Amino acid sequence: MRVLGIESSCDETAAAIVDSDGRVLSDVVRSQIAIHAAWGGVVPELAARDHLRGVLPVTSEACRVAGLTLDDVDGLAVTVRPGLAGALLVGAEFAKTLALATGKPIVGVDHLVGHLLAVFLTRGEAAPTRPGFPFVALVASGGHTAIYKVSGPLERDVEELGGTRDDAAGEAFDKVAKALGLGYPGGPVIDRLASAGDATRFAVPRPMRADPSLELSFSGVKTWVARHVEREGAPVGQALADLCASFQRAVVDVLVDKTMRAARLAGVGDVVLSGGVAANGGLRARAKERCGAHGLRLFVPPPASCTDNAAMIAFAGAARLAAGERDGLDLSIEPRSRIPRATVKGRGRRR
């Protein structure tokens, strides 16, 4: 089975064709970073307008790269939650129009399920090793940060074990980069600067680390850096690299500690990292070290699968279609995920 996926939940317009084994036949991503960079974050109205410009060209390109036409695909998958409402609407209405015109089945996909299954995508490798169900996965991106137990490929197989009480990890990278005058998005530049810095120079706090729950919090780390800059001025040279390294180490320590704890509590042997922050060199290295020490297998998809893309959406859709699930043309978007939250924003653990 071959599925065309469409993704437009945030600031990437993407289309991809993937088969039900996870083979990526095409994967086209049109980033809006240049549009939002001037504002230091994603502007919802500008995002929706640009998805409208991009959705048809990326879909045509995905077909061209795969050497296929819409006739050759067996179904359509589109991100319907969570995300920016206006942005989601563009992809969903476009995909429904394609379904109506072609008569192909359509399924809506939760973007987080896409991130959780991105580890199953293959991009030309001969015999990829894949995690077995159930596994524990950390999804850390600009909009979400939570730890899940994944017992199968469908949304109902996904259980959130804990998440952030406030900012997402990627959001912390982006806000710290803004405070340091490093531009948007912040993750890649902080990652690069941190690799030349001394992570022990500044005592950045590690919120929630000692707390036995699987909850996370990143707004305090961001505030600590902002206060430091207010007090001492924006650092340059080695001091900047050391501050980036110290901040990154604090975030990574908490993410890895909680993920390891989740794997132990869930009794699983396989651990997966996903979302844009999983591209972070410090996170990958520390997770590898800790999983190795505890006899866990670690799976980290390549960056193209970790950051927002439509291949993961197509694959999650293929799993729904294979299970006999279908949506109608009344399929609608929702800003929030339906996966029950273990941690409620601003309030902590759901009781």
Binding part of the chain for ligand KG4, among 14-22, 137-145, 198-206, 289-297 by CB under 6 A, reads 137-145
Query: Is 141 one of the binding residues for ligand KG4 (CB under 6 A)?
Result: yes
Longest CA–CA span in the chain (Å) reads: 62
Contact criterion met (CB below 8 Å) for 144 and 112: yes
Measured from the CB of residue 115, what is the shortest distance to Zn ion in angstroms? Answer: 6
**Candidate list 141, 246, 248, 343; residue touching Zn ion; CB under 5 A:** 141
# binding residues, ligand KG4 (CB under 6 A): 19
Q: Closer CB to ligand KG4, residue 134 or residue 186?
A: 186
| Phi, psi at 12, each rounded to 5° | -125, 130
Query: Is 308 one of the binding residues for Zn ion (CB under 5 A)?
Result: yes
Residue given tokens 């390109």 in the structure block: 61
Query: Is 308 one of the binding residues for ligand KG4 (CB under 6 A)?
Result: yes
Query: Is 307 one of the binding residues for ligand KG4 (CB under 6 A)?
Result: yes
* Extended beta strands in the chain, E state: 2-7, 12-19, 24-31, 75-81, 106-110, 135-140, 145-150, 158-163, 270-274, 297-299, 343-344, 348-349
Contact criterion met (CB below 8 Å) for 320 and 154: yes
**Candidate list 86, 188, 220, 235; residue touching ligand KG4; CB under 6 A:** 188
Token reading at 302: 């390549």
Query: Is 50 one of the binding residues for ligand KG4 (CB under 6 A)?
Result: no
Q: Please list, in sequence order, all residues whose beta carbon lies within 8 angstroms of the beta carbon of residue 275, skipping any fewer than 6 positions away.
A: 115, 138, 139, 140, 141, 144, 145, 170, 306, 307
Query: Is 280 one of the binding residues for ligand KG4 (CB under 6 A)?
Result: yes
Q: Closer CB to ligand KG4, residue 86 or residue 105?
A: 86
Measured from the CB of residue 18, what is the shortest distance to Zn ion in angstroms? Answer: 17
The dihedral through the CA atoms of 64, 70, 75, 78 has a sign that is: positive
| Residues within window 249-278 making contact with ligand KG4, judged by CB under 6 A | 275-277
Residue 25 CA to chain centroid, in angstroms?
21
Q: Which does 279 bind (CB under 5 to 8 A by kind): ligand KG4, Zn ion, none?
A: ligand KG4
Residue 79 CA to chain centroid, in angstroms?
13
Q: Which does 107 bind (CB under 5 to 8 A by kind): ligand KG4, Zn ion, none?
A: none
Query: Is 153 one of the binding residues for ligand KG4 (CB under 6 A)?
Result: no
The dihedral through the CA atoms of 320, 323, 328, 331 has a sign that is: negative
**Candidate list 279, 287, 300, 339; residue touching ligand KG4; CB under 6 A:** 279
Q: Closer CB to ligand KG4, residue 21 or residue 45?
A: 45
Residues that bind ligand KG4 (CB under 6 A): 10, 141-143, 170, 173-174, 185-188, 191, 275-277, 279-280, 307-308
